[in-house]
Chains A and B, each alone.
Chain A
Amino acid sequence: DAMVIQNPRYQVTQFGKPVTLSCSQTLNHNVMYWYQQKSSQAPKLLFHYYDKDFNNEADTPDNFQSRRPNTSFCFLDIRSPGLGDTAMYLCATSRELAVYEQYFGPGTRLTVT
């Protein structure tokens, strides 16, 4: 049974055209994360939500925003995608912060043309 679901799995968008990626979870976890993984690189944390509290990493570009309307869903909005935003975007959840395991979704592969 899928626990962390990401849609779409593949997305192609044009340079500068806003795009939204979706993540949902059936685990009822308090924390949801968004990571960016560029080709042949390690995943890099963009931001996370603890319940409704949003926490942005210091070096996450302003172009990236996130919304969490309820416990189950979290969205990643890229306002004006650039070619350098082509990457795999991974959503993850954990029950709480600190010692808990993170569960990852299958990812959305975004291509900016």
Chain B
Amino acid sequence: KQEVTQIPAALSVPEGENLVLNCSFTDSAIYNLQWFRQDPGKGLTSLLLIQSSQREQTSGRLNASLDKSSGRSTLYIAASQPGDSATYLCAVNNAGNMLTFGGGTRLMVKP
């Protein structure tokens, strides 16, 4: 059974810092991995999708990497802003497009 872990569970940084969120998974037989953002009381916004054959994806200030063999992904956020404050979830897609989510990292960026 796939297990997904996100470290740290919470993170507080001053505005402008570059930061890294970590995601690890136990079963490397994945189709892809998605990073999501969730604001309090809201749904999920997809940030980046990395297919199993890819090493990284970039969107604006966000860069996600995938090392499938070691069961790890990182989300890099450059020049963090208060508007980046949210919970970030990674989800791994195994057989049949079933997403298994990590517990999330709650990010607070202070002005």
Show the binding face of A for B, using Cβ within 8 Å. 6, 31, 41-45, 48, 55, 88, 90, 92, 94, 96-107, 109
Given the known interface contacts A42-B104, A104-B44, the answer about A98 and B96 at a Cβ–Cβ threshold of 8 Å is yes
Write the chain A residue with the least CB distance to B45: A104
Write the chain B residue with the least CB distance to A55: B96
Contacts of B61 in A (CB 8 A): none
Given the known interface contacts A90-B44, A105-B43, A107-B43, the answer about A43 and B32 at a Cβ–Cβ threshold of 8 Å is no
How many cross-chain pairs have Cβ atoms below 8 Å apart between A and B?
Answer: 60
The 6 closest A-B pairs by CB, nearest first: A42-B101, A104-B44, A106-B43, A97-B97, A107-B43, A101-B49
B46: contacting residue among A42, A99, A104, CB under 8 A:
A104
Residue B31, interface by CB 8 Å: yes
The answer to whether A104 touches B43 (Cβ under 8 A) is yes
A90: contacting residue among B43, B49, B97, CB under 8 A:
B43
The answer to whether A94 touches B41 (Cβ under 8 A) is no
**Smallest distance from the beta carbon of B28 to chain A beta carbons, Å?**
16
Residue B103, interface by CB 8 Å: yes
Show the binding face of B for A, using Cβ within 8 Å. 4, 31-32, 34, 36, 41-46, 49, 51, 89, 91, 93, 96-99, 101-104
The answer to whether A31 touches B97 (Cβ under 8 A) is yes
Complex: how many Å from CA A31 to CA B101? 18
The answer to whether B96 touches A45 (Cβ under 8 A) is no
Complex: how many Å from CA A107 to CA B43? 5
Contacts of A103 in B (CB 8 A): 46
The answer to whether B44 touches A94 (Cβ under 8 A) is no
Given the known interface contacts A42-B89, A104-B45, A109-B41, the answer about A99 and B103 at a Cβ–Cβ threshold of 8 Å is no
Q: List 6 A-B contacts (CB under 8 A).
A: A92-B44, A96-B97, A98-B93, A99-B32, A102-B91, A106-B43
